[in-house]
Amino acid sequence: MLLDRAVDRYLRHISIERGLSAHTVEAYRRDLAGYAAWLRDHGVEDPAAVTQDMVAEFAAERAASDPPPAPSSLARLQSSVRGLHRFLAREGIVEEDPASRLVPPKQPQKLPKALTIEQVEQLLRAPSGEDPIGLRDRALLELLYATGARVSEAIALDVDDVQAGDVLRLRGKGDKERIVPIGSFAREAIDAYLTRVRPALAAKGSATPRLFLGARGRPLSRQSAWLVIQKAAEAAHLSAHVSPHTLRHSFATHLLQGGADVRVVQELLGHASVATTQIYTHVSADTLREMYQTAHPRAV
């Protein structure tokens, strides 16, 4: 099997069988296109001819490139290469996996930035409660903070997804569904938007089941949702950087600070592994440490 055909087969596998998002598949496609080009420059067209030394040399060259790649980009690149060769070996297309000994780069742990409860309240109060777009924006912000949804999950919601009282259904990574509670403040904001705003917006565009609509009646885009949050942050005079993920981080951090079990937060966030969720426990620990050092007479 030629290299390009092997790459295409692997990409179909992660898209269809593993259900990875289109964004992730496209990132893997770019990484593997560069890897395949590198192999062809070294005279390799057949994946069965790839050796461990070749894989190691490719990884070393990319790590030493100028400017150096971000650790996350390098880790994803190596993950793409390892995944390709592991798939080819498992399918019996090649006899051995030449990337089995490739050690992924260690990434520095970045603690997520969370807003304080007071800052979140300022943000949620920022959109006007009178004009239609302000009501829509408040509903979106309240939903993001109430559920910890990713912005992609929020804008993918249909009206039917929020009709079941105090819970809603989110479709996360890999098209996995999860049910999350929705608080009274978010419920009230969504109901106001559905009753007073969405019918008029829907009349401006073609029929769509999407919950959140733009001014022309079309489904709200990721970019538009990002702008909603930026506009609210500016109106609230928040100096901290605020992104769609900031509300997700704040949701998790405030739950843990309030005593929620980390495995419950894992389920609410839709994390496949509790290890991903545990990074938020470090945020809470930092908060506790800061309070201790401020309040205890012999802390410092």
- Averaged pLDDT in 10-residue chunks for the chain of 300 residues: 90 86 89 95 94 94 85 88 94 92 72 83 88 94 92 90 80 78 91 93 90 93 90 89 85 86 84 71 62 66
**116: its two tokens:** 């304080």
Among the listed residues 138, 210, 254, 271, the single catalytic one is 271
Residue 21 inside a domain? The answer is yes
Among the listed residues 29, 113, 178, 245, the single catalytic one is 245
pLDDT of residue 30: 94
0.95 exceeded by the pTM? no
71 and 144, same domain (yes or no): no
9 and 138, same domain (yes or no): no
The verdict on whether 82 is a catalytic residue reads no
The type of residue at 239 is: S
Residue 187 inside a domain? The answer is yes
140 and 253, same domain (yes or no): yes
Among the listed residues 10, 35, 145, 280, the single catalytic one is 280
Q: What are the contacts of 21-29 at 24+ separation with CB within 8 A?
A: 21/173, 21/174, 27/76, 27/80, 28/76, 28/80, 28/83
Alpha helix positions (H), the chain = 3-12, 22-41, 52-63, 71-90, 117-125, 132-147, 151-155, 184-196, 198-204, 222-235, 244-257, 262-269, 274-277, 279-295
Domain of residue 143: give its range.
Answer: 117-294
Q: Hey, which residues does 169 pair with through a beta bridge? A: 179
SS3 for 207-223 is CCCECCECCCCCECCHH
The verdict on whether 86 is a catalytic residue reads no
Considering only CA atoms, which of 211, 209, 166 is closest in space to residue 186? 166
Among the listed residues 171, 173, 218, 222, the single catalytic one is 173
30 and 139, same domain (yes or no): no
Print burial letters for 4-13: b (CB count within 10 Å at least 16), e (below 16).
Answer: eebbeebbeb
The type of residue at 278 is: Q
The verdict on whether 216 is a catalytic residue reads no
Among the listed residues 76, 150, 249, 254, the single catalytic one is 150
Q: The domain spanning residue 192 has which CATH number?
A: 1.10.443.10
278 and 206, same domain (yes or no): yes
Among the listed residues 85, 187, 198, 248, the single catalytic one is 248
Residues 6+ apart with CB under 8 A from 88: 6, 10, 47, 94, 97
257 and 148, same domain (yes or no): yes
Q: Hey, which residues does 213 pair with through a beta bridge? A: 219
C-beta neighbour count of 218 within 10 angstroms: 16
pLDDT of residue 107: 62
The verdict on whether 5 is a catalytic residue reads no
**183: its two tokens:** 């608080």
